[in-house]
Structure 1
Amino acid sequence: MEKEKAFLLWFDQLERKDVAIAGGKSSSLGELTSHVDVPVPYGFATTACAYRYFFEKTGLYQKIKDLIEGLDVDNSAQLREVCAKVRQAIMDEEMPQDLQDLIAEAYEELGKKVGEADPFVAVRSSATAEDLPDASFAGQQDTYLNVKGAATIVAKVKECYASCFTDRAVYYREKQGFDHLDVALSAAVQMMVFSKAAGVMFTVNVATGDDKNILIEGAWGLGEYVVQGTVTPDNYTVNKETCAIVEKNVNAQDIK
């Protein structure tokens, strides 16, 4: 089957150029798995085609169009109310059975590939409009950690779909001039890593554009608390050429 028509693809079937098919995150994970010698926890991704299939089958496109008609995103109360109704409308619809079966079968297959029945996974949102040259949608949709069991995976994929309409995502799309119904969402289902410490790494300083150093922010446990801002992470600036730590700030962290 052609990638564009597939409902589900494994990471080693995806490449960075597949952003329109699987979003920025899933396609990047695919690129790292397929072409770069980087250890990536294995998994699969539902595609934009699957998202659109779900919305078309259930009539959600028309329902959402009706709900957001006349929305003023600068009216925070209205934005909150409308977005909550849209998310609830998505959650109220049952995912088509063939799509549910496909996700469940892939999850079972993932367990066989890694040699673990009912493995713990992360279900991560990946929007097809992520990280464009003039806009960044990354981090505006939800991610779910420590998920287990086929039925739970299916439910979390639907929750990822609903998170496409968080207040922040809708506001940002409106201000950037994107049609809310044009954006689609991929859900990456990926093996969990039970990390001693984790965080985020930037190969370019996002504030200054300086690309001579690597910036690392880390904390004990899973990296989600760093992303959410729950803890103040340790900061390390590492010179790319020498790998020397140029600067570091170690902060107190009382939870992980």
Structure 2
Amino acid sequence: MYLLWLGHSDAHDSKLVGGKAANLSRLAGDHPVPPGFCLTTAAFEAAHEGSAAVPRLPRAIFDQIGRAYRTLALQTGVRDPSVAVRSSAVDEDGAEDSFAGQHETYLNVSGLAAVTAAVLRCWESAHTPRALAYRRQRGLSAERVRLAVLIQVQVASDVSAVVFSANPLTGRRDEVVINASWGLGESIVGGSVTPDTYTVRRADLAVAGRVIGAKQRMTIATAGGTREGDVPRLLPTQPAPSAAQAAEVARPAVSLGS
């Protein structure tokens, strides 16, 4: 089984699709998750037959990616839809081991050739010295690497946010915390921007606190990729989401944590 769609029951299995894709697949049943599919760990193993470190793309897997990508084109009404191509490690985001930042992610990828090239680069990232050293440090097998790859429709966002279902600073479970900024979310995740921070009460979704960050930089979608750029004049001091938008962003986090 080389390919599974998000929302399929088999795609809930982190051993097949890694932690990131499995969690998104579970969410897809009841929450608005952009459509996408995942190349399983079986595809990773097939790509490495005969070579431990240099993957290739077998024809059967290429054909499945092509059919799935064309399905996304039909769903979105765009001939070559922009997608995020993201590594999803089998041991990812476990209780003791998080592989965040160890493997590759490619945003705003468009066209089948670019998508398949990004898949190969994700697979290759499983064998970088940094990723292998990370595994060894945590007592995980560096030789038995298994990596899935998630291909998901890219959201063309003016504002992005990272949402915490509990307050990460105080541990309070009755609060949702939102970090938000202009452009794509990579600038928040990568730490290149100081985002706005909203604290929202779970009980009534009211904004209990707001700190406007110095949002000087943003991640911008370009043809076939992204770039870092300056936030347009006047916007750095303006709140990225309104209070009403912050409440709507918090709503799914409240339902997930209930």
**TM value normalised by structure 1:** 0.79
Larger helix fraction of residues: 1
Inter-CA distance 152–252: structure 2 relative to 1 (3 Å threshold): same
Q: Does 1:111 align with 2:73?
A: yes
Considering Cα pairs closer than 8 Å and 6+ residues apart, tell me whether 1 or 2 has the greater RCO: 1
Please state how far the C-alpha of 1:106 moved relative to its aligned partner. 1.2
- Measure the CA separation in 2 of the matches of 1:206 and 1:180: 31
Q: Which has the higher strand share?
A: 2
Q: Which residue of 2 aligns with 1:29?
A: 24
The structure-2 alpha-carbon separation of the partners of 1:18 and 1:200, relative to structure 1 and needing over 3 Å to count, comes to same
2:91 aligns to what SS in structure 1?
A: coil
Decide whether the 8 Å contact of 2:84 with 2:153 is kept in 1. yes
Equivalent residues, number: 218
SS in 2 for 1:218: strand
Contact 1:129/1:183 (<8 A) preserved: no
Cα distance, 1:16–1:233 mapped onto 2, change above 3 Å? farther
Structure 2 gaps, min length 5: 219-258
Q: What's 2:2 paired with?
A: 7
Verify the 8 A CA contact 1:26 1:188 in the aligned structure 2. Answer: yes
TM-score (norm 2): 0.78
Aligned pairs (5 A) from 1:1-256: 6-14=1-9, 17-34=12-29, 36=30, 38-56=31-49, 59-61=50-52, 64=53, 90=54, 93-256=55-218
- Kindly indicate whether the alpha-carbon contact (under 8 Å) linking 1:118 and 1:149 is maintained by their aligned counterparts in 2: yes
Distance in 2 (alpha carbons) for counterparts of 1:249 and 1:60: 51
C-alpha distance in 1, partners of 2:66/2:39?
11
Distance 1:13 1:97, change over 3 A: same
Corresponding residue SS for 1:60 = coil
CA-atom RMSD in angstroms: 1.8
Distance (Å, rounded) in 2 between the aligned partners of 1:14 and 1:202:
26
Contiguous gaps of at least 5 residues in structure 1: 1-5, 65-89
Shift of the 132–51 alpha-carbon distance from structure 1 to 2, 3 Å rule, reads: same
Match of 2:253 in 1: none
Deviates more, 1:97-106 or 1:118-127: 97-106
